């Protein structure tokens, strides 16, 4: 009986495993999404893909010895069958993401300074760390009470740090012991 199985591959060997399975006559499904930055497709689940076959007729060793494959996902020594509905759900989800133009993007790179515009941390400066996967939340570092703390926030409430923000933050009010600084604007 044909069933879907999840395969765990070596890093960046997903396409190699798909080609090797095709040579052996085994159907494979590699969920791909176009990358907005490079324009090339990349795996939605890095190092994972799905193969549809009848293990009784193909044999477990045929799959285990595919170049680039680390293992078949198993539980208690038995390969786990992935339900057809789960694979169909992944396919339909990918089609929806592609119809929307891909995953939501952002203009930030790790290390960029940002300002939080809404929520309980509104007005604070932070350092962008990176996305938390294909979700719309990102991780930032906020300097609060003299300590750098991680926070996970929606991407929509962040904006880049402007020059005016940088200038305003760097200005000193006094030279110490109450001696005011007179700025020329």
**Element of type H or E holding 94:** helix 84-99
pLDDT band at 173 (very low <50, low <70, confident <90, very high): low
Going by C-alpha positions, the residue among 67, 74, 53, 52 that lies closest to residue 9 is 67
Pair 51, 28: CB distance under 8 Å:
yes
pLDDT tens digits, residue range 51-101?
999 999 998 888 889 999 999 999 998 999 999 999 999 999 888 888 877
pLDDT band at 13 (very low <50, low <70, confident <90, very high): very high
Superfamily of domain 3-99: NusG, N-terminal domain (3.30.70.940)
- pTM (two decimals): 0.63
Q: How many residues are present in the chain? A: 185
pLDDT band at 1 (very low <50, low <70, confident <90, very high): confident
Domain definitions of the chain by residue range: 3-99, 113-170
Q: List the CATH code of the domain at 113-170.
A: 2.30.30.30
Q: What are phi and psi of 73, to 5 degrees?
A: -65, 125
pLDDT tens digits, residue range 97-147?
888 776 666 778 888 888 888 888 888 888 888 877 656 678 888 877 667
- Quote the tokens at residue 25: 């006559």
Pair 117, 140: CB distance under 8 Å:
no
Handedness of CA 99, 100, 103, 108 (dihedral sign): positive
pLDDT at 36: 65
State the Cα–Cα distance between residues 10 and 14, nearest whole angstrom.
7
């Amino acid at each position: 009986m044909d069933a879907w199985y999840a395969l765990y591959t070596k890093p960046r060997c997903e396409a190699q495993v798909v080609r090797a399975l095709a040579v052996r006559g085994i159907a494979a499904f590699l969920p791909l999404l176009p990358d907005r930055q490079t324009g090339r497709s990349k795996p939605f689940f890095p190092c994972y893909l799905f193969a549809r076959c009848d293990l009784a007729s193909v044999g477990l060793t045929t799959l285990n010895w595919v170049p680039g494959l680390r293992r078949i996902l198993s539980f208690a020594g038995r390969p786990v069958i992935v339900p057809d509905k789960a694979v169909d759900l992944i396919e339909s989800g990918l089609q929806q993401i592609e119809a929307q133009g891909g995953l939501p993007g952002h203009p930030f790179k790790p290390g960029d300074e940002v300002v939080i515009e809404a929520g309980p941390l509104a007005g604070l400066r932070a350092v962008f760390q990176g996305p938390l996967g294909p979700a719309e939340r990102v991780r930032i570092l906020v300097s609060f009470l003299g300590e750098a703390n991680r926070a996970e926030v929606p991407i929509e409430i962040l904006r880049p740090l402007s020059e005016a923000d940088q200038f305003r933050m760097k200005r000193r009010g006094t030279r110490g012991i109450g001696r005011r600084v007179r700025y020329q604007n």
